[in-house]
Chain A
Amino acid sequence: MRISQTLGAAAIFLAACATAPPRELVDARAAYEHASTGPATALAPGHLAVARDQLAQAENAYASSPRSPVVRDLAYAAERQAEAADAAAGAEQARRDKAAAQAQLAAAATQNRQRALSAEQEARQAQQQAREAQQRAASESARLSAEEQARTEAEAAAAGERNARIRAEQQSAAAMRRLEEIASVREEARGRVITLNGSVLFASGTATILPSARQRLDDVALALEHEPRARFIVEGHTDSRGSDTTNLKLSDARAHAVREYLVDHGVDASRIVAVGKGEESPIATNATPEGRANNRRVEIVINRRQAER
């Protein structure tokens, strides 16, 4: 009877074991199930193996002595070990994440440094280009200023020349007008001929220029100065009274006197010659005093054609 009671008790125990394991064992089984289907398999296999062994011990203890408090202690430890396996897997993942983040940080820092260096270099290049551009602009500006200045000067010079030419022409025209007031001026085939009356220039029978004639001769000199390329011939003429020889000599002396005066007053000596014509070229009749007076003259021929040769 006692044996059967014992067996019966054992059967009850077993039955109880099969239907109601201690809470700690249930928790341990769940914890292991969770750990073994998670990342611990790959990331913390060692910890998982320990957890498996501990659970196995708890199961064995439960199988052999279901009500023993040792079962609960073993199951408690097994549950903790399974949770630790999970945590170890999480730690391993975090270690890998940390390493990856460190690598990314290093890469980003390197990239940052390189970009900073590039930016610095670009800034220096840009500065250099800006300086060069400034220099080119300054050179260009200087060149343009110089050109502008040269152009302005050239224009001023041209204007000056034009003005001078105009003034010279005006002066020449004015001189010629004055001359026309005091002398006869006409155009002939041989050139422009200025005729000055002999009695206005010289005392009778002499080749000495009268003081009163100087102003006229000054005007003639001025008019001749405005013919810078022409050649001049000063011709002395007399009337027919007296001998040919005397008249020739007198006319020659008078022509030379006028030439000398003109040269002294600015006419180029190399372009002016003097010649006495005596009585050979009258312009009026020698029969009348008037005609004779007209024949007694000095002619200055302005020959432009000579200059052109």
Chain B
Amino acid sequence: MTRASVGIAMLLFAGCGGTAPPTRALTSASEAIGAANQAGATTARSAEQYLATARRELDDARARIDEGDNRGAYRLLVRAKADADLATALARREHLQNEAAELGQRAEALRNQTRF
């Protein structure tokens, strides 16, 4: 089980009443967004929308925390992390595919050169 899903499961049994600010979830979501940036999500067409969504969700979560809606913030942070993780995976795939395609083209070009 991931940390996020454990957190969610706890919420199921929390019942009414206040919850602490979701500090861990905030860190987790922020780190996930940072990882997506590092993976090149901002320059990967398949990933950039998910990264943008993750950032929005993070910003919204922060606003909810400020308003005292920790539960609402937590739910947003879970989504933010999921979107950021997906953005990372998509960015990696896209960049690797581009690199593989470029290398494949260079190899083909070189093979054509050697043929003649």
A contact set with B: CB distance below 8 Å = 47, 50, 53-54, 57, 61, 64-65, 68-70, 73-74, 76-77, 80-81, 83-85, 87-88, 90-91, 94-95, 97-98, 101-102, 104-105, 108-109, 111-112, 115
Contact = CB atoms under 8 A, between A and B. Distances in A.
A105 B103 contact: yes
Nearest to A68: B12
Contacts of B89: 47, 83-85, 87-88, 91
A105 B92 contact: no
Contact of A104 (B11, B88, B93, B107): B107
Nearest to B84: A80
B114 A105 contact: no
Contacts of B93: 87-88, 90-91, 94
B12 A77 contact: no
B110 A77 contact: no
Contacts of B111: 104, 108
A77 B107 contact: no
Contact of B8 (A47, A70, A108): A70
B82 A57 contact: no
B8 A73 contact: yes
Contacts of A102: 103
Interface of B: 1-2, 4-5, 8-9, 11-12, 50, 75, 78-79, 81-83, 85-86, 88-90, 92-93, 96-97, 99-100, 103-104, 106-107, 110-111, 113-114
A95 B93 CA distance: 9
B106 to A, nearest CB: 6
Most buried by A among B4, B50, B93, B113: B93
Given A84-B86, A101-B107, A94 B78 contact: no
A81 B92 CA distance: 15
Nearest to A115: B114
User: For the complex, would chain A's binding face be called helix, strand, loop or mixed by DSSP majority?
Assistant: helix
A65 B13 CA distance: 11
B79 A83 contact: no
A77 B5 contact: yes
Contacts of B104: 97, 101, 104
26 contacts: A53-B5, A54-B5, A57-B5, A69-B75, A73-B8, A77-B82, A80-B50, A81-B85, A83-B90, A87-B90, A87-B92, A90-B93, A91-B89, A91-B92, A94-B96, A94-B99, A97-B97, A97-B100, A101-B107, A105-B106, A105-B107, A108-B113, A108-B114, A112-B110, A112-B113, A115-B114
Contacts of B8: 57, 61, 70, 73-74
Given A57-B1, A87-B89, A94 B100 contact: yes
A237 to B, nearest CB: 107
Nearest to B11: A70
Most buried by A among B79, B81, B83, B96: B96
Contact of B79 (A47, A77, A88): A77
Contacts of B107: 101, 104-105, 108
